[in-house]
Structure 1
């Protein structure tokens, strides 16, 4: 086994999930993530954790959802109890077919998501972490050879996380102190309020309310969004490729949309529920180990010189204790490239121009 697989497992268990002896851990394993799962299981055994493994197969989910009548029981007790009784959930992605669920009807996906709201909340209440093993299917989706994709993944995952966390803390301080964000570039001209919000320094560790490995972003929960934004980084949503998504916001709500490819998928997302038309996240990518889009949101939203916005659910970590924030059955990220002819300003002060932050060499205010 590649030594980097064991290094990946070490980072996941020690830095990201902070697993301790006696912790009750669920590990969801995709079809292609077997090697990483073996390495993680050995690490959990050494740690003295209690492990339950589940099979996280997109093809299995497709078969189930296509055969179902769409009338799902709300929050099945056995599934809910699994997460309610767990300390941590480790999701190891890396399936055989990244588009396995592309032909599942949108209304069935929506109904299933709505029926699992409490289950999803129970999952989110654990120290959950999502990561991926560099499989051939993911390499193919990224347009890369398997060997090149392995290098890409490990460059993004096996970083000096403490050093990156320190750099990102400057952006967190700016957002925490700010009231309004203004994003401009090309056909994008968007303002968002971040007043009374708390930004998360997403260091790939649950200790910082960060739940993805790799990570490398700073995010908050915007509201009162107005203007237009174009998301020019192609991506797959609900198993379908979308490109150049355009959204128009008025008084916090998406009132119009379009896309150069498969706009109906965007419409399905927006129609999920009332909260799906509002933003739940503003995220700023800062991981320079991720230097190209790969059609995987786990990596692409952390890519340096990008900004992403998520339709739907807001994360509680960004909200005041007395505020629930935007609620939705979805959290769908969309990404815009800010590497050229773009600026990101907080309270009128430009923080990033053409992909370069004000504390970096080459910044031009």
Structure 2
């Protein structure tokens, strides 16, 4: 079953992605547009607009059993050997090198096709995919979510309602977020530490997670990379993360729902973890590599225009009044200013060597709700306790 979205809405959506998120298309651009065939209505409009702008579209249609078009599919994970997985075709790598800009249209026909794969081969595929992921992350990129029945089923929603939520959020001008996020952005820039207080619902005790964000770049997210958007984030000094956190909002990963996550950090490393649902999947994530035992991001959700809290990370992490952390890779832009300069690259390598920044094949966002009823209790930036007003984080006056 495929959803029908009016052409004028698809055009508006595509214009935001091409003209705003990617700053326009020129005749020199090769734009990779990646997604499953079920997302074709939006891919087609994007392809058409790239051509009309004088650029070259590279439409990369993803098999339904391949989660986000990784270097190999779930079929390889189930039946392939480690030796086969390492034989990544050179043309695949060159395809990513050849593009200048990247759009990924998320949306699955049947997420169960790539769920519950063997741990060893799944981990090997993630590791082989990491260099290709890094190629695309070094270029202008944006992700968006197209509504499908497969994802609607994961949310426990009708396709019609799921489509309304996704499309309505994708029609909002992302430039409105800039002013909305400014106060939080400024106080994060001035802060040296972040303290997160949550409550363990079963053990009935408060948990604290602390970390240093001193001298880190703070990033306002206003639709340049995720669409829709709405968060202010940074990557902490990974070595300084200490304590415990409970994460209550469900997230979907490779077609599996993970819910009720508890993490304990010692000297920057996850040393204990549980999940009320999806523990095996959480274990696969954390045990991927050394970096997936560490924290790569902390962020505050700032979008109060999302009508319902969805499990999909692109949406749930943006909801105003939430906080998310990411298991896995840090964001280089939080540590250096000019990623292309040799000096910046050397700086970043030093951060990696010292464990301040974090390398991993994983970067998985998990979200705690600080609105009434959630397990989140308080967030402090230095001594400033943040507040929630109109479903977004605010700095107290």
TM over 0.5: yes
Which residue is equivalent to 1:49? 55
Q: Equivalent residue for 2:39?
A: 33
2:359 to 327, 333, 340: 327
Aligned to 1:208: none
In structure 2, the residue matched to 1:358 is 394
The correspondence for 1:112, drawn from 125, 131, 134, is 125
* Runs of 5+ consecutive residues of structure 2 not aligned to the other structure: 67-72, 201-206, 337-343
In the alignment, the residues of structure 1 paired with residue 371 and residue 23 of structure 2 have an alpha-carbon distance, to the nearest angstrom, of: 34
* Structure 1 match to 2:78: 66
The answer to whether the 8 A contact 1:75-1:118 is kept is no
Q: CA deviation at 1:294?
A: 1.7
For the pair 1:199 / 2:213, whether they are aligned, the reply is no
Q: Is the 8 A contact 2:195 2:210 kept in 1?
A: yes
Moved more, 180-189 or 58-67: 58-67
TM-score (norm 2): 0.85
Aligned to 2:325: 309
Q: In 2, distance between residues paired with 1:303 and 1:98?
A: 23
| Farther-moved stretch of structure 1 (236-245 vs 41-50) | 236-245
Q: Is the 8 A contact 1:342 1:353 kept in 2?
A: no
Written as runs of structure 1 = structure 2, the 5 A alignment for 1:271-310 is 271-310=287-326
Q: What pairs with 1:115-130 in structure 2 (closer than 5 Å)? A: 115-130=128-143
Aligned residue for 1:118, secondary structure, equals helix
Deviation at 1:166, TM superposition (A): 1.7
Counterpart in the other structure of 1:342:
377
Residue 222 of structure 1 is aligned with which of 236, 246, 258?
Answer: 236
User: d(CA) in 2 for partners of 1:200 and 1:74?
Assistant: 37
Q: Verify: 1:77 aligned to 2:90, yes or no.
A: yes
Unaligned runs of 5+ in 1: 206-210
Deviations 1:12-44 (A, max 9, x none): 111112232121111112131111111111111
Equivalence for 1:4: 9
Matches within 5 A, 1:153-168: 153-168=166-181
- In structure 1, which of residues 12, 17, 20 is the aligned counterpart of residue 22 of structure 2? 17
Separation of aligned partners in 2, 1:73 and 1:220: 33
Instruction: After superposition, give the CA deviation of every residue in 1:128-182 in whole Å (9 maximum; x if it has no partner).
Output: 2111212222222222222222221122222122221121122222212211011
Comparing 61-70 with 275-284, greater Cα deviation is found at 61-70
Judge conservation of contact 2:96–2:135 (CA < 8 Å) in 1.
Answer: yes
Q: 2:301·2:393 contact (CA, 8 Å) conserved in 1?
A: no
How many angstroms apart in 2 are the aligned matches of 1:183 and 1:135?
35
Contact 1:27 1:51 in 2 (8 A): yes
Report deviation, 1:4: 1.2
TM-score (norm 1): 0.92
How large is the RMSD of aligned CA atoms in angstroms?
1.9
Using the alignment, how far apart are the partners of 2:306 and 2:382 within structure 1?
28
Instruction: Say whether residues 1:138 and 2:151 are aligned partners.
Output: yes
Shift of 1:353: 4.8
Taking the aligned partners of 1:292 and 1:198, their CA distance within structure 2 comes to 31
Q: Find runs of 4+ consecutive structure 1 residues off by over 4 angstroms.
A: 353-356
Query: Which residue, 224, 227, 239 being the options, matches 1:213?
Result: 227
1:76-134 Cα shifts (integer Å, max 9, x gaps): 42122111121111111222112321131122111011123322211111112111212
